[in-house]
């Protein structure tokens, strides 16, 4: 088996000094030559290698999804998938059909509904689910993972019936609404998981999903563990795959609690390692639970909620930084974003700069004063560009036209932050990076019509959009010297595009597909 490869094609390196070249050579999974093909052949003389000639097709660094709930993405087929329904009424037959497949009294879980796409955007509640007359405990999860609807049986069986919690909604008369927000649904999600998520089955699902991601040019993921949001990661399964040689892509893993053993970010190996702590400063725009400075435009009197006090946030960041643990913080609303940036600045003033920059996920509502704070701070911003498209019918109603000028500020954030990464937040969105690249470059409808109320001055160039999915995620981990570009000394993680995206009309970028993907110089997927 040859451990060396010579690869030829139109190579986009991701480096400013030399954007394109003809070939590169890799030995034992690391790139040792980049340049002209004739010189590469001379460099390879006398070595045992395999030649891959991809002609005029584009070769580029492997892409990273810098914010994905990878196990939840893998497990989508375990539950009733509501991503295609268009109304509450369309949910009913799916739940009734599932009830016929499982024993009476067994948990039923449905996932991925998005009421903002419906003509009548009413969310399910206890009355809706109870009206089905089923004897099963039922939990229906919104696609964001921050909102869940349940029936009476589920509330009683989980022990939440008598519990008072701001995230367990009640009607004006004090009776249950059957709607749970943020982490309140954790006990119900765990109960359903015990039935459906056997270790063997989940391991196979993760392997299959990794190969699916590889088919879309992805060679690494930043997997974010959030079990209370039904977005937990299964590192046991990943470790099993790695040990058996079946883990095709690299996993950097964030966890929503500080580990109770003494490790720091980077613990593990080059394929599977602990990356840091994941915190949630607020909720979501769709669920109206993100923390805003002013009321939601379509829900007066509601400004969302902060999940932590300033003192709690600072305390967590201080402990993490002292232990050498990188932190990423979910912050969507401007009030949550302000708290997050101020907390980061407080801690860095106290302890100095961390080894890897703090990371802020989403930053969807980002007015100019917060952009100025970001410019003065050494922070990474994790964007999900495709959400500008999928949220196009919802966000203008949530924030109003004036605040829309400050939303999805891709270019301003790209120019302001220490670095900006691209991601999908899958299974919230489709993880295909080219959908994110297309959205970041165009900000249009599928037919090319500009998105109404969006600021298209915030579009990125193609090179900038590619950077946020290739080089920048590794910089965000503090491992920019390891991977992310096709250059000397870096992992031979790369993907082969079918054709040349640079020759396409920008509106066609969402249609790009791949021919092969390599990790550590080894082909892990091919068409």
Round to whole Å and give the CA distance between 223 and 282: 19
Provide the pLDDT confidence category of residue 332 given band limits of 50, 70 and 90: very high
Residue whose token pair is 């509501």: 82
pLDDT tens-digit map of 452-475 = 899 999 999 999 999 999 999 999
User: Token digits for 314?
Assistant: 């600072």
Flag whether pLDDT at 1 surpasses 60.
no
Task: Please report which confidence band the pLDDT of residue 77 belongs to, taking 50, 70 and 90 as the band edges.
Answer: confident
Asked if 105 and 99 touch (Cβ cutoff 8 Å), the reply is: no
* % helix, strand, coil for the chain, step of 5: 35, 25, 40
Residue 253 contacts residue 274 (beta carbons within 8 Å): yes
pLDDT digits (tens, 9 = 90+) for 153-195: 999 998 899 898 889 999 989 999 999 987 888 888 888 888 8
- Beta bridge pairs of residue 343: none
Long-range own/partner contacts, residues 307-310 (CB < 8 A, 24 or more apart)? 307/182, 307/280, 307/281, 307/282, 307/283, 308/279, 308/281, 308/339, 310/339, 310/342, 310/343
Q: What percentage of the chain reaches a pLDDT higher than 70? A: 100
Contacts of 260 (CB under 8 A, 6+ apart): none
- Residues 201-218: tens digit of each pLDDT: 899 999 999 999 999 999
Q: How far apart are CA 234 and CA 227, in angstroms?
A: 10
Section 286-297 average pLDDT: 95
- The 3-state DSSP class for residue 325 equals coil
Distance in angstroms (rounded) separating the CA atoms of residues 262 and 460: 41
Q: pLDDT of 242-277, one tens digit each?
A: 999 999 999 999 999 999 999 999 999 999 999 999
Cis peptide before 427 (omega within 30 of 0): yes
Model-level pTM? 0.87
Asked whether 79 and 49 are in contact (CB, 8 A), the reply is: no
Q: CA nearest 483: which of 445, 446, 520, 434?
A: 520
Alpha-carbon separation of residue 422 from 126, 157, 308, 310 (angstroms): 37, 40, 26, 28
Mean pLDDT, range 503-510, rounded to an integer: 96
- At residue 336, the pLDDT reads 98
What are the pLDDT digits (tens) for 114-137?
998 898 999 999 999 999 999 999
Q: φ, ψ for residue 360 (rounded to 5)?
A: -115, 120
Tokens of 309: 């006090």
Tokens 């009206």, residue located: 131
Residue 230 has pLDDT above 80, yes or no: no
The whole-number pLDDT of residue 117 equals 85
């Amino acid at each position: 088996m040859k451990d060396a490869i010579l690869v030829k094609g139109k190579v986009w390196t991701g480096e400013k000094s030399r954007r394109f070249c003809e070939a590169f050579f890799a030995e034992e999974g690391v790139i040792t030559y980049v340049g002209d093909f004739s010189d590469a052949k001379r460099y390879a003389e006398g070595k045992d290698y395999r030649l891959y000639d991809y002609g005029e097709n584009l070769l580029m660094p492997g892409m990273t999804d810098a914010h994905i709930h990878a196990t939840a993405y893998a497990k989508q087929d375990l539950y009733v998938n509501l991503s295609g329904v268009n109304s509450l009424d369309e949910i009913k037959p799916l739940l009734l059909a599932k009830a016929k497949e499982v024993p009476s009294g067994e948990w039923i879980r449905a996932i991925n509904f998005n009421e903002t796409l419906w003509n009548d955007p009413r969310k399910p509640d206890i009355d809706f689910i109870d009206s089905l007359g089923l004897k099963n405990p039922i939990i229906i999860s919104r696609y964001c993972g921050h909102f869940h609807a349940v029936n009476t049986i589920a509330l009683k069986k989980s022990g939440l019936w008598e519990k008072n919690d701001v995230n367990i909604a009640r009607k004006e008369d004090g009776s249950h609404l059957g709607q749970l927000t943020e982490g309140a649904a954790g006990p119900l999600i765990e109960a359903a998981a015990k039935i459906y998520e056997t270790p063997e089955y989940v391991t196979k699902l993760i392997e299959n999903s990794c190969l699916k991601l590889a088919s879309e040019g992805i060679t690494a993921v930043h997997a974010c563990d959030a079990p209370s949001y039904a977005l937990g990661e299964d590192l046991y399964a990943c470790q099993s795959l790695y040990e058996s040689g079946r883990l095709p892509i690299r996993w950097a893993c964030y966890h929503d609690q500080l580990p109770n053993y003494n490790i720091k970010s980077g613990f593990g190996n080059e394929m599977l390692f602990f990356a840091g702590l994941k915190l949630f400063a607020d909720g979501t725009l769709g669920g109206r639970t993100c923390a805003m400075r002013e009321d939601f435009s379509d829900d007066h009197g509601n400004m969302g909620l902060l999940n932590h006090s300033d003192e709690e946030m600072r305390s967590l960041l201080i402990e993490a930084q002292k232990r050498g643990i990188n932190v990423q913080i979910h912050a969507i609303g401007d009030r949550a974003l302000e708290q997050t940036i101020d907390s980061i600045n407080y801690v860095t003033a106290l302890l100095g700069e961390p080894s890897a920059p703090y990371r802020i996920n989403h930053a969807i509502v980002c007015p100019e004063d917060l952009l100025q704070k970001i410019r003065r701070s050494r922070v990474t911003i994790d964007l999900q560009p495709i959400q500008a498209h999928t949220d196009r019918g919802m966000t203008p109603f949530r924030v109003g036209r004036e605040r829309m000028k400050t939303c999805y500020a891709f270019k301003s954030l790209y120019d302001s932050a220490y670095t900006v990464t691209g991601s999908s937040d899958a299974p919230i969105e489709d993880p295909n990076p080219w959908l994110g690249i297309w959205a970041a470059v165009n900000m249009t409808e599928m037919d090319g019509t500009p998105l109404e109320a969006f600021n298209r001055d915030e579009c990125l160039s193609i090179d900038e959009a590619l950077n946020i999915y290739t080089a920048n995620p590794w910089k965000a981990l503090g491992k920019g010297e390891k991977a992310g570009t096709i250059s000397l000394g870096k992992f031979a993680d790369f993907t082969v595009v079918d054709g040349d995206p640079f020759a396409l009309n920008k509106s066609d970028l969402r249609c790009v597909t791949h021919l092969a993907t390599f990790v550590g110089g080894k082909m892990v997927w091919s068409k």
